[in-house]
Structure 1
Amino acid sequence: MPISIFGFQALWSPYYLVALVLITLLYFFITVKWRGKFKDSEPLQQKEALLFVSGMALLYIIKGSPIDLMGHIMFTMHMVQMALLLLLVPPLLIMGIPTWLWRWFIELPIIKPLFLFFTKPMLALLLFGIFFSVYHLPLVFDFVKQDMLLHSLMSGTLFILAIFYWWPLVNKLEGMHKFHGLKKLGFLFALSVLMTPACALIIFSDAPFYATYSDADAWLQAMALCVPIGTLSQLNLSGPELFSSMSLIEDQRTGGITMKIIQELVFTVFIWLVFYEWLRNENDNAEEITAKVMQDRKEMAYHRHNG
């Protein structure tokens, strides 16, 4: 059965699109037209603009396009959403917002102590990893998926925690928690380890976990999060099996595998970028390092000769 039966609003979320477009326009007004009102502001770089727009476009694809609707029908698509929303959008937005604008935001009253506290690397890592695992416990997941407010709060909290996690890895603001060089690799690896138990439990399960994908009443309740009630009431639907050829257990296992694959791909790209940055710094400082080594050897030889 085609998903087009749910209607244009459920498929393309026009209000959400308008909201993201307005936020993007505000970004350009602040970083270009109103830049002079901010202390130590600098011209917007093309790279920053591209990163921010890419992040916002991906945010719409994840939460506003038919992918969001399919995320309520297939667990696999839900995990695709989660992987992209938590592992790719945050670094794109962090790097896309100019440093001077981040500085202005963080210096606001109350924001700075909270930001410094929650972006402590180990705390950010643990909070994100634990919250992700707890969210995917069947009891929690089914409860949250059937309530609009709880679902929004949970998704929003996970996204904010993902920003806190990515902050030490990609921010360029002085005085903030951040990793340099190869320490970033250990931080990425640590998150991979923390996410593994939840994914493994999903992948190697013998039975479907989630009522919102297996029970007709729970599924319809969850569908109300993205499909107008009036539209749902006119459709005679028995469950998500009408829209997918995969069995529930196959869908669940595929979702867990998909999350791990996307996670590894994203981390591989960032690991390559970290290694490239480290290698470039080593090459840039090669002459300085060589000169220091030669000076140390001369001093050792001098002390040996006069010792």
Structure 2
Amino acid sequence: MMLTYLTATFGFRATWNPELMVLTASIGIAYFALIGPLRHTFAQATPVSLRQKALFCIGLLLFYFGMGSPLNVAGHFLFSAHMLQQSLLYLVMPLLLLAGTPSWLFASLPERKWARTLLRLTTHPITAVLMFNALFSFYHMPVILDMAMNNLAMHNLIHLPLLLTALLMWTPVIAPLPQLHRLTELQKLAYIFASGVLITPACALIIFAGAPLYGTYVNGPTMLCTPFFSAPVDKSMLAVPLQALDDQRLGGIIMKLMQEVTYGSVLAYIFARWYRKEKDQPDDQLLPH
């Protein structure tokens, strides 16, 4: 019912974003077309597991769902939908894409000096975690978010760096290249905990604000922006089911809960892997020499 209403109101292009649909499908086709032939060009390249393929595909689906589906449209009118979109795009999707990409696909990058230098700088744990969380907080400043929601250039200027820095933020944890394995398992636990602490002030400000912070969700947007085009909004056709302040608080809670669940799941996985590794070590390796 809601999908039919959105499609009828804003049209197929605005609601389903066929350009992004094609782009997402093209990335998926390229992934499956390349992982077979390319593997044979790299020494000691392991086959891509079914689990990796599934994770990559789910990540791609979340990318489209966040950027090109009706959730993107709903995010212009409901802050809670916007924060669900943000959670999927920047907390969950990059993690799945990195986990689903075999390390040998990145193997040619470190051969180039400029790539090695850039990777060392942007994937350093301190740089990566600060860049993402600073940009995320900057985006949710009222004046910036209101501007991005009603301006196509600003919309893309913010979302593209956020997507990139989200990938970089997860890189010290997933480390798709052997050269990037800087953190021990214990350090990864501390890194994820620190990232959760850094994102908390933005969520807390949104949840505990005494008044609506964003004019877009009080007065309604004037434009509907997607990655490839924007269209004017006829506000007479809108019916928002929540009061702006309640919607804002719900959005902050959704973001915090999604962050807790995602980070908590990764923490549990890393801790379990670390525990198994320590448990499997022979006793003589645990004794000082």
Query: TM (normalized to structure 1)?
Result: 0.85
* Equivalent in 3, 7, 16 of residue 6 of structure 2: 3
Task: Check if 1:270 corresponds to 2:266.
Answer: yes
> How far off its partner does 1:238 sit?
3.8
Task: Check if 1:102 corresponds to 2:106.
Answer: yes
Matched-pair contact (CA < 8 Å) for 1:6–1:227: no
Output the amino acid matched with 1:245. Answer: P
Cross-structure match for 2:250: 254
Cross-structure match for 1:291: 284
Alpha-carbon displacement from aligned partner over 1:236-269 (angstroms, at most 9, x marks no partner): 4248xx3321100111111011100000000111
Q: Whole-Å Cα distance in 2 between the matches of residues 77 and 178 of structure 1?
A: 36
Q: Whole-Å Cα distance in 2 between the matches of residues 31 and 134 of structure 1?
A: 37
State the identity as a percent: 34
Stretches of structure 2 that go unaligned for 5 or more consecutive residues are none
Cross-structure match for 1:186: 190
Alpha-carbon displacement from aligned partner over 1:38-83 (angstroms, at most 9, x marks no partner): 5654322222211111110111111121111111111101111111
Q: Whole-Å Cα distance in 2 between the matches of residues 204 and 113 of structure 1?
A: 42
3-state secondary structure, aligned to 2:108 = helix
Task: Check if 1:128 corresponds to 2:124.
Answer: no
From the superposition, tell whether residues 63 and 280 of structure 1 become closer, same or farther in structure 2 (CA, over 3 Å). Answer: same
3-state secondary structure, aligned to 1:206 = coil
From the superposition, tell whether residues 159 and 107 of structure 1 become closer, same or farther in structure 2 (CA, over 3 Å). Answer: farther
From the superposition, tell whether residues 116 and 229 of structure 1 become closer, same or farther in structure 2 (CA, over 3 Å). Answer: closer
> How far off its partner does 1:35 sit?
3.4
Matched-pair contact (CA < 8 Å) for 1:128–1:158: yes
Which structure 2 residues correspond to residues 156-167 of structure 1 after superposition, within 5 A? 156-167=160-171
Matched-pair contact (CA < 8 Å) for 2:75–2:82: yes
> How far off its partner does 1:148 sit?
1.1
Q: Whole-Å Cα distance in 1 between the matches of residues 228 and 27 of structure 2?
A: 24
> How far off its partner does 1:16 sit?
0.8
Output the amino acid matched with 2:151. Answer: D
Aligned residues: 285
Stretches of structure 1 that go unaligned for 5 or more consecutive residues are 300-307
Matched-pair contact (CA < 8 Å) for 2:155–2:227: no
From the superposition, tell whether residues 79 and 106 of structure 1 become closer, same or farther in structure 2 (CA, over 3 Å). Answer: farther
Cross-structure match for 1:281: 277
Q: Whole-Å Cα distance in 2 between the matches of residues 52 and 147 of structure 1?
A: 31
> How far off its partner does 1:110 sit?
2.3
Cross-structure match for 1:200: 204
Matched-pair contact (CA < 8 Å) for 1:120–1:177: no
From the superposition, tell whether residues 156 and 229 of structure 1 become closer, same or farther in structure 2 (CA, over 3 Å). Answer: closer
Cross-structure match for 2:29: 25
Matched-pair contact (CA < 8 Å) for 2:152–2:229: no
Q: Whole-Å Cα distance in 2 between the matches of residues 292 and 251 of structure 1?
A: 55
> How far off its partner does 1:140 sit?
1.4
Matched-pair contact (CA < 8 Å) for 1:10–1:226: no
Larger Rg: 1
Task: Check if 1:57 corresponds to 2:61.
Answer: yes
Task: Provide the alpha-carbon RMSD of the alignment.
Answer: 2.3
Alpha-carbon displacement from aligned partner over 1:5-26 (angstroms, at most 9, x marks no partner): 2122222212211111111111
From the superposition, tell whether residues 136 and 56 of structure 1 become closer, same or farther in structure 2 (CA, over 3 Å). Answer: same
Q: Whole-Å Cα distance in 2 between the matches of residues 268 and 148 of structure 1?
A: 35
Query: TM (normalized to structure 2)?
Result: 0.90
Q: Whole-Å Cα distance in 2 between the matches of residues 92 and 228 of structure 1?
A: 27
Q: Whole-Å Cα distance in 2 between the matches of residues 29 and 227 of structure 1?
A: 26
